[in-house]
Amino acid sequence: MQADEEMYRLIVNEISDGILVLDADFVARFANPAMLRILGYSPDELDGVWAGDLVWSEAEDLGRFAEETEKRRRGESGNYELRWRRKDGSACWSRISATARFDPDGQFDGSLIVFQDITERKRTDETLRLWASVFANSREGIAITDRNGIILDVNEAFVRITGYGREEVIGQNPRILQSGRHDSAFYAGMWESLYKVQIPFFMIKQSNDMIALIDGHDQRL
């Protein structure tokens, strides 16, 4: 029995996900080191805090918190996403797995929350959505390439400006669009620079100039 307790204690202390134990009033009674690190509190600061005060103060998040607390009171488990407020005031997105706890008499006794920090994933998703919007709506032609310079996709403006259809350029090297202004050494240097800054795309401007952004400067190709 003691060995089992030591094993469980080790898991709780070393796991990268946060663990938060709430009582029947949804007041924090225990947080593992990962939970404290994610939210930025010390054990004494978090102990006795109502969980609702840790939730991001927008209606969507507060409403979801209220909805989930009622589910726990009914004995229901749940998996959901929710924003929390760190001690420094910043928002923290979480993926939560919550389980209701009951005492020996079957009365609701609180909740066990396993908390996965997905803030970076959310930021990445938002950046991808932004780029998708720019790609679709830009008046400049944009082509996306792989690290070998092979075109993976182009937007509608690219098709309109160049006259090439998507099916004609996907899988091709951008050399089909070379203006003749530069020699092969220039293009080799351009792709090396693009790889270094990890910007695998270029733009076709409405003036029919092909532009790559290298070291913060437009390069006409």
How distant, in Å, are the alpha carbons of 30, 35, 82, 131 from that of 15?
15, 10, 20, 34
How distant, in Å, are the alpha carbons of 30, 150, 194 from that of 143?
51, 10, 13
Q: Among the ranges 3-12, 16-25, 187-196, which has the highest mean pLDDT value? A: 16-25
**pTM of the predicted model over 0.85:** no
Model confidence at 212: pLDDT above 80: no
pLDDT digit string, tens, across residues 19-42: 999 999 999 999 999 999 999 999
Q: Which two tokens stand for residue 191?
A: 């792709």
Q: What is the mean pLDDT of the chain?
A: 81
pLDDT digit string, tens, across residues 134-159: 888 888 778 887 777 788 888 888 88
Residue 98 near residue 69, CB atoms below 8 Å: no
Contacts (Cβ under 8 Å, ≥6 apart) of 13: 32, 33
What is the model's pLDDT at position 193?
52
Report helix, strand or coil for 78.
strand
